[in-house]
């Protein structure tokens, strides 16, 4: 490395740094200084200047830190440019820096030097640097003074932690390329002497990188034992560092090494030390050990580890720690609270260990000791502390270990009571409710969606506990739960109409009790299954039958007892209806008289009069909906019991049908019960059922085929008249909507009220509600190819061709209502009013500045205002559109009939997607669900003819819509940033959240149909080519799909981009294979490969370049590697694209491309891509603004959020918690600048 005038250069660097930091410097001077420093960063002299700056202790901190940055850049960005002599010199400088560190040096200097050691080790250890272990031990053992000794050891622990993290835990791109040699070397220097000796004796590939006898895991554990057994100066900091250094190591090192080093004993010795920071570190280390993937092949090693962690003395230590860190909801000590949450996870992990290896608990006293402690934690008022143990208890009860279940069952009633109390929907209680659980929840969760997701999972685990406990003693359990539920009736009945609120605790507790009963009945159902002679061969059949009959009689008696509980309170009546219905539905072959008695009791129950109290009025509506639901459910489950002697029931149903004051949905729901029972009754043969059902369904065909309806669907204007909006423009002008600014406070006049009534009457007159109700009654819950299904198919085979033309016309017009083109011929002032009317009001969990109930109350309260009128106007076409969606969805249940209708596909696709890009984004999710249904139900022989219009139009529609929405969001962010204004942040966040959710829905649908496991139709006999093959080999479908997927790589949602990369990677090899093996498709496959090699590759590289996508670098690199590996045409387009990147050397690109294509390991391919693009890809978020690495540790807030996330997403529950992210604009110059265009 050539020499230079060192002192002058250092002075230049100092002056440039001072100019760049000094606020008094002019902009021109600052820019000149930054250009000089940037040039120095990439010069061959950078390492020398860096070393000189760092070693000059008289320089200001920013100068020394810049010196370390120069050294780091020479290691990270320019290592391959250095000669062997230069590399040796740089290595020696880094070593010298470490050996010259002093205790008084700033911590950021020490951390940065430690990071340089790690970066250097990733590139040179076990190659040109073989004595790293010896140097670390020399620093470890150096006896200078106590401060220097402690400082050296902490430095070494940092390096060991980071090496372990980067090589074996985190996928560092450079470490990935040398994974084999680095991993083997790291293992050799860490494992204890006994294990190392066995490795030497049994293996030939020892690297000889080890120095000394102990090995680092034993050396650190010995140090820990010494420090925690005496009052050593500076011990606290070193104990924490040692525990944290072991944490990544125990996730990969051999279990035998953990056992030999007695690592678990060290943890409990540290726990007994009594310091909260040490407790946190010790418990995290223990969690890292216990949460490793269990492998039965190493059961003996696992037994040793588990026994050492669950010994009686260890349980006592955990109990003392738990008691010592007890907190109060009104005064939470965060460190102690963290200890309790983590300790609960430890107990949960130990419970999982017991489930895997029950013998680690020695005897009954040991079992009682552990589970009593676990239940004490479960009863904590902090549900975050409680949930790990609750989750484990639900699993333990499901496994039914004979050694454990009797012990837990002894406290069943106590657990029932705790679970039922915690099944309350705490998020629905009013804000002023005082409760210790609520106090913790409000502190634990910043947003409502987080709390909702967490509480949903918590209640689910409670339900599982109740279910499994009930399965052991079902009758007594269900009776106990029913008695607990009915006991709360009195407290709810005391809620008078005048003061009634749906947020009252008695009501919430009643709902929780009803949910618990449902869980108990689920346990009873599992018990019934276990009593089936197939599952209970050892018990005589007669004895089994007697048990089942006795249980049915007992539950039937409970139903009648509840039926005799007459109450006019809507909530009590509703829950009584629910308890009777749920119980009856779980009884095996109930007495027909009991079924009819319960149905009549539910049907003829008194309905309270309409109330002025909105909450009480809503409770009455819920009662009516519950009655309808349970009568329909009982009709589906016991059609013969109802159809026999049905005259009284049908007469009462007819009375309700004729009552015009009853809600239209309720009326048609009751009308559908006659269809349900007639279609499913075993007392009638198939022909008789068809004959009796045809008159019931005939009104559907007649209504849709009427000449008047057809005429009124002939144009958009006549459609508006059909739904009561024909005089909209005249009324809007007369009421001066265009000049009224605040619609929420402007009251409707009498003409507006009449107009609104006319809209509602017009919607009621449409045959949509009738069709959805009767179609659902005759198509839902039917087994494929059963008699009931054949009856339904025969009926609707005649009706479908009659109704579909007008259904699709109605759908087409209702979708076009949102289109600007539908109103373009009208005056500008009216167009402005319509656009405002079409803006939806919707509530977004965690974003809206009001609760859901407050939002609902506000919307309900605005019905008599201009805003309420606007809601009626935009709601009319939406209600029609949703009804048409339901009709199409229901018809697909008779797929052999529906998909065989001639010329349906194109008309259906145009009705669904022709104007769908004009709809509000949050309305599109239902459309995605319907599209999924249509594609999945389409029989394989009909895919080539039916799916092309649907796939082509849907992907084009969502491409247009989502691209436009993401551009709008980015534009809004840019405007806010430039104007230094937050604007309407709430609305911006809602828009962002909705677009993310819709994008995720559609990308997930794309993954479903294009992945290697893409679903087949429900008809297995028709299985032919896969859905993926059908789509990718059809030009009409493949082109819009590919265009959308490429565009999705730029949509600013990491989750969606990651899914898109998976889709690409699933079919890229398929494209290459088809090109080689199918000459008929060679031209099409070549065109697709060209598209992948150009647009897809450039887009992936562009996204890789942005900090926004830092968390999915791995996925994007995998996609880039897959394109390079599989798309290698004669002109090698991928290599040319990479070479066009600014600053990319052609020789380096050629070597990397050849390495990727020659490699058979995806992980290695990905590492090559990340190394090649290291200079352009975005900086990892965890590194932004940070000086050192320290094992990439998170701060406390990040860690707490990540740990809470475990309990937010389990069980498939998903919630959009990300708020708006600002400043994520593309790099200056954009795509063209990156690729040299």
SS3 letters across 101-145: CCCCCCHHHHHHHHHHHHHHHHHHECCCECCHHHHHHHHHHCCCC
Q: What is the mean pLDDT of residues 1159-1187?
A: 67
Residue 1075 has pLDDT above 90, yes or no: no
Residue 1020's pLDDT band (cuts 50, 70, 90): very low
pLDDT tens track for 50-60: 998 898 888 88
Please report the pLDDT score of residue 1027 as a whole number.
92
Q: What is the mean pLDDT of residues 754-767?
A: 95
CA–CA separation, 562 and 564 (whole Å): 5
Lowest-confidence segment of 210-214, 580-584, 657-661, 1184-1188 by average pLDDT: 1184-1188
Residue 156 has pLDDT above 50, yes or no: yes
Residue 1216's pLDDT band (cuts 50, 70, 90): very low
Q: What is the mean pLDDT of residues 109-122?
A: 92
Lowest-confidence segment of 160-169, 690-699, 955-964, 1163-1172 by average pLDDT: 1163-1172
CA–CA separation, 43 and 215 (whole Å): 40
| Residues 6 or more apart whose Cβ sits within 8 Å of residue 892 | 898, 899, 933, 934, 937
Apex CA 844: angle with CA 838 and CA 849, to 5°? 105
Lowest-confidence segment of 76-85, 259-268, 1057-1066, 1084-1093 by average pLDDT: 76-85
Residue 162's pLDDT band (cuts 50, 70, 90): very high
Q: What is the mean pLDDT of residues 1154-1168?
A: 89
pLDDT tens track for 404-415: 999 998 888 889
Name which residue leads in pLDDT, 860 or 965: 965
Residue 1235 has pLDDT above 60, yes or no: no
Q: What is the mean pLDDT of residues 260-278?
A: 94
**Phi-psi region for residue 645, left (φ > 0), alpha (ψ -120 to 50) or beta?**
left
Please report the pLDDT score of residue 537 as a whole number.
60
- pTM value > 0.75: yes
The structure tokens 């399965």 sit at: 471
Name which residue leads in pLDDT, 608 or 261: 261
Residue 572 has pLDDT above 60, yes or no: yes
pLDDT tens track for 1099-1143: 999 999 888 888 898 899 999 999 999 987 667 899 999 999 887
Residue 375 has pLDDT above 90, yes or no: yes
CA–CA separation, 669 and 628 (whole Å): 7
CA–CA separation, 658 and 653 (whole Å): 9
Residue 1217 has pLDDT above 80, yes or no: no
**H/E element, 567:** none
pLDDT tens track for 997-1016: 999 999 999 999 998 654 44
CA–CA separation, 430 and 507 (whole Å): 12
Please report the pLDDT score of residue 521 as a whole number.
97
Give the mean pLDDT of the chain: 87
pLDDT tens track for 36-78: 888 888 788 889 989 988 988 888 888 888 999 999 988 887 7
Q: What is the mean pLDDT of residues 1156-1168?
A: 89
Q: What is the mean pLDDT of residues 888-907?
A: 96
Of all residues in the chain, the percent with pLDDT exceeding 70 is 89
Residue 1229 has pLDDT above 60, yes or no: no
Q: How far is CA 1079 from CA 458, 673, 709, 717, 1082, in A?
A: 57, 58, 52, 52, 5
Please report the pLDDT score of residue 973 as a whole number.
77
Query: Phi and psi of 1217, rounded to 5°?
Result: -105, -15
CA–CA separation, 306 and 304 (whole Å): 6
Please report the pLDDT score of residue 984 as a whole number.
59
Interaxial angle between packed helices 235-249 and 216-228, expressed in degrees from 0 to 180 and rounded to the nearest 10: 150
- Residue 747 bridge partners (DSSP): 865
Residue 1176's pLDDT band (cuts 50, 70, 90): low
Q: What is the mean pLDDT of residues 1046-1062?
A: 94
Please report the pLDDT score of residue 1181 as a whole number.
31
Of 944, 1099, 921, the C-alpha closest to 1029 is: 944
| Of the ranges 80-84, 736-740, 915-919, the best mean pLDDT one | 915-919
Q: Are 555 and 478 in contact (CB under 8 A)?
A: yes
Residue 922 has pLDDT above 90, yes or no: no
Residue 1019 has pLDDT above 50, yes or no: no
Q: What is the mean pLDDT of residues 979-994?
A: 67
Return the sign of the alpha-carbon dihedral for residues 1228, 1231, 1236, 1237: negative
Name which residue leads in pLDDT, 749 or 19: 749
Please report the pLDDT score of residue 1201 as a whole number.
59
The full set of domain ranges for the chain reads 1-104, 131-292, 297-472, 476-639, 700-898, 1065-1237
Q: How many CA atoms lie within 13 A of 1052 on its CB side?
A: 26
Query: Phi and psi of 572, rounded to 5°?
Result: -65, -45
Q: What is the mean pLDDT of residues 913-940?
A: 94
pLDDT tens track for 421-441: 999 999 888 888 889 999 999
Please report the pLDDT score of residue 730 as a whole number.
92
Please report the pLDDT score of residue 1199 as a whole number.
58
**H/E element, 276:** helix 276-290
Residue 609 has pLDDT above 80, yes or no: no
DSSP state of 1094: I
pLDDT tens track for 173-218: 788 888 889 999 999 999 999 999 998 888 766 778 899 899 999 9
Please report the pLDDT score of residue 846 as a whole number.
57
Residue 458's pLDDT band (cuts 50, 70, 90): very high
Q: What is the mean pLDDT of residues 738-747?
A: 88
Q: What is the mean pLDDT of residues 261-273?
A: 95
Residue 832 has pLDDT above 70, yes or no: yes
Q: What is the mean pLDDT of residues 299-306?
A: 95
**Phi-psi region for residue 983, left (φ > 0), alpha (ψ -120 to 50) or beta?**
left
Q: How many CA atoms lie within 13 A of 712 on its CB side?
A: 20
CATH 3.20.20 fits 297-472, yes or no: no
């Amino acid at each position: 490395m050539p020499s230079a005038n060192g002192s002058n250069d250092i002075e230049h660097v100092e002056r440039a740094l001072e100019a760049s930091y000094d606020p008094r410097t002019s902009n021109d001077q600052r820019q000149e200084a930054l250009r000089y420093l940037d040039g120095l960063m990439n010069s061959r002299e950078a390492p020398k200047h860096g070393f000189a700056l760092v070693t000059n202790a008289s320089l200001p901190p920013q100068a020394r830190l810049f010196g370390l940055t120069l050294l780091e850049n020479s290691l990270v960005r320019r290592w391959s440019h250095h000669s062997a002599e230069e590399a040796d010199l740089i290595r020696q400088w880094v070593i010298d820096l470490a050996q010259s560190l002093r205790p008084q040096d700033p911590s950021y200097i020490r951390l940065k030097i430690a990071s340089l050691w790690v970066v250097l080790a990733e590139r040179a250890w076990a190659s040109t640097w073989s004595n790293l272990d010896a140097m670390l031990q020399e620093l470890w053992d150096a006896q200078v003074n106590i401060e220097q000794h402690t400082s050296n050891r902490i430095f070494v622990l940092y390096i060991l932690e980071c090496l372990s993290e980067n090589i074996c835990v985190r996928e560092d791109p450079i470490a990935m390329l040398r994974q084999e040699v680095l991993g083997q070397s790291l293992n050799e220097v860490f494992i204890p002497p006994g294990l190392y000796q066995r490795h030497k004796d049994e293996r030939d590939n020892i690297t000889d990188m080890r120095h000394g006898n102990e090995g680092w895991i034993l050396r650190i554990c010995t140090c820990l034992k010494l420090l925690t057994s005496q009052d050593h100066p500076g011990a606290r900091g070193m104990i924490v560092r040692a525990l944290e250094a072991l944490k990544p190591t125990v996730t990969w090192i051999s279990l035998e090494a953990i056992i030999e080093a007695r690592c678990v004993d060290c943890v409990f010795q540290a726990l007994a030390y009594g310091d909260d920071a040490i407790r946190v570190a010790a418990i995290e280390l223990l969690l890292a050990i216990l949460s490793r993937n269990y492998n039965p092949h190493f059961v003996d090693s696992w037994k040793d580890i588990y026994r050492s962690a669950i010994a009686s003395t260890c349980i006592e230590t955990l109990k003392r720690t738990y008691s010592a860190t007890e907190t109060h909801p009104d005064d939470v000590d965060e460190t102690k609270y963290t200890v309790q949450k983590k300790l609960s996870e430890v107990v949960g992990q130990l419970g999982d260990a017991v489930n895997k290896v029950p013998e680690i608990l020695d005897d009954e006293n040991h079992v009682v000791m552990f589970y009593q402690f676990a239940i004490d934690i479960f009863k904590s008022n902090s549900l975050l502390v409680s949930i790990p143990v609750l989750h484990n208890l639900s699993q333990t009860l499901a496994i039914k270990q004979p050694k454990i279940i009797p012990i837990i069952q002894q406290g069943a009633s106590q657990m029932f009571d705790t679970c039922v109390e915690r099944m309350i929907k705490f998020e629905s209680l009013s804000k002023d409710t005082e409760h210790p659980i609520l106090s913790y929840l409000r502190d634990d969760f910043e947003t409502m969606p987080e709390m909702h997701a967490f509480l949903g999972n918590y209640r689910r685990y409670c339900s599982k506990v109740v279910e499994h406990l009930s399965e052991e003693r079902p009758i007594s359990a269900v009776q106990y739960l029913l008695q607990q539920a009915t006991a709360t009736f009195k407290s709810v009945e005391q809620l008078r109409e005048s003061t009634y609120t749906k947020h009252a605790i008695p009501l919430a507790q009643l709902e929780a009790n009803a949910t618990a009963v449902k869980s108990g009945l689920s346990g009873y159902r599992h018990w019934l299954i276990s009593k089936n002679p197939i599952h209970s061969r050892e018990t005589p059949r007669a004895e089994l039958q007697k048990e089942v009959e006795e249980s049915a009689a007992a539950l039937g008696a409970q139903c009648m007892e509840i039926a005799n509980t007459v109450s006019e309170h809507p909530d009590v009546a509703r829950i009584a209806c629910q308890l009777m219905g749920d119980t009856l539905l779980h009884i095996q072959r109930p007495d027909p008289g009991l079924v009819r008695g319960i149905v009549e009791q539910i049907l003829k129950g008194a309905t309270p009069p309409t109330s002025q109290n909105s909450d009480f009025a809503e409770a009455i509506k819920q009662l009516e909906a519950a009655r309808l639901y349970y009568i329909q459910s009982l009709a589906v489950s016991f059609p013969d019991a109802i159809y026999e002697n049905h005259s009284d029931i049908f007469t009462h149903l007819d009375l309700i049908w004729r009552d015009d004051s009853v809600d239209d949905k309720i009326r048609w729901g009751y009308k559908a019960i006659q269809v349900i029972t007639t279609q499913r009754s075993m007392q009638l043969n198939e022909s008789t059922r068809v004959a009796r059902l045809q008159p019931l369904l005939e009104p559907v065909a007649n209504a849709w085929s009427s000449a008047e309806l057809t005429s009124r669907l002939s144009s958009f204007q006549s459609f508006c008249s059909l739904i009561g909006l024909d005089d909209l423009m005249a009324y809007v002008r007369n009421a001066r909507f265009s000049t009224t600014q605040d619609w929420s406070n402007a009251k409707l006049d009498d003409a507006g009220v009449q107009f609104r009534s006319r809209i509602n009457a017009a919607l009621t007159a449409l045959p949509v509600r009738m069709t959805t109700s009767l179609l659902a009654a005759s198509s839902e819950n039917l087994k494929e190819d059963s008699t009931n299904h054949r009856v339904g198919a025969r009926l609707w085979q005649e009706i479908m061709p009659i109704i579909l033309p007008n259904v699709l016309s109605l759908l087409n017009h209702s979708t076009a209502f949102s289109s600007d083109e539908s109103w373009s011929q009208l005056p500008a002032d009216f167009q402005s009013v319509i656009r405002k009317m079409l803006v939806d009001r919707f509530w977004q969990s965690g974003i809206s500045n009001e609760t859901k109930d407050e939002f609902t109350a506000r919307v309900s309260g605005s019905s008599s205002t201009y805003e309420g009128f606007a809601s009626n106007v935009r709601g009319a076409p939406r209600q029609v559109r949703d009804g048409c969606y339901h009709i199409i969805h229901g018809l697909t249940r008779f797929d052999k009939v529906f998909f065989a209708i001639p010329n349906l596909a194109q008309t259906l696709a145009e009705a669904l997607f022709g104007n769908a890009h004009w709809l509000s984004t949050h309305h599109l999710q239902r459309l995605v669900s319907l599209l999924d249904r249509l594609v999945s139900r389409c029989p394989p022989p009909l895919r080539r003819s039916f799916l092309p219009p649907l796939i082509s139009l849907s992907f084009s529609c969502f491409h247009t819509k989502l691209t436009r929405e993401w551009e709008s969001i980015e534009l809004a962010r840019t405007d806010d940033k430039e104007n230094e204004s937050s604007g309407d942040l709430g609305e911006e966040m809602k828009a962002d959240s909705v677009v993310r959710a819709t994008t995720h829905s559609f990308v997930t649908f794309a993954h479903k149909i294009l992945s290697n496991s893409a679903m087949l139709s429900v008809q297995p006999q028709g299985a032919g080519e896969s859905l993926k093959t059908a789509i990718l080999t059809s030009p009409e479908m493949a082109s819009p799909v590919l265009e959308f997927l490429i565009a999705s790589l730029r949509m600013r949602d990491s989750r969606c981009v990651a899914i898109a990369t998976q889709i690409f990677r699933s079919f890229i090899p398929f494209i290459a294979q088809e090109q080689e093996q199918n000459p008929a498709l060679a031209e099409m496959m070549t065109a697709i490969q060209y598209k992948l090699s150009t647009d897809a590759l450039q887009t992936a590289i562009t996204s890789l370049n942005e900090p926004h996508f830092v968390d999915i670098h791995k996925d994007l690199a995998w996609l880039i590697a897959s394109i390079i590996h599989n798309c290698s045409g004669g002109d090698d387009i991928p290599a040319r694209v990479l070479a066009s990147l600014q600053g990319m050397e052609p020789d380096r690109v050629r070597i990397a491309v050849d390495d990727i294509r020659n490699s058979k390991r995806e992980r290695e391919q990905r590492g090559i891509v990340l190394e090649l693009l290291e200079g352009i890809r975005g900086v990892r978020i965890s590194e932004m603004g940070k000086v050192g690495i320290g094992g990439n540790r998170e701060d406390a807030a990040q860690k707490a959020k990540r740990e809470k996330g475990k309990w937010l997403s389990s069980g498939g529950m998903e919630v959009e918690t990300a708020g708006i992210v600002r400043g994520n604009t593309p790099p200056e110059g954009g795509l063209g600048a990156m690729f040299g265009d």
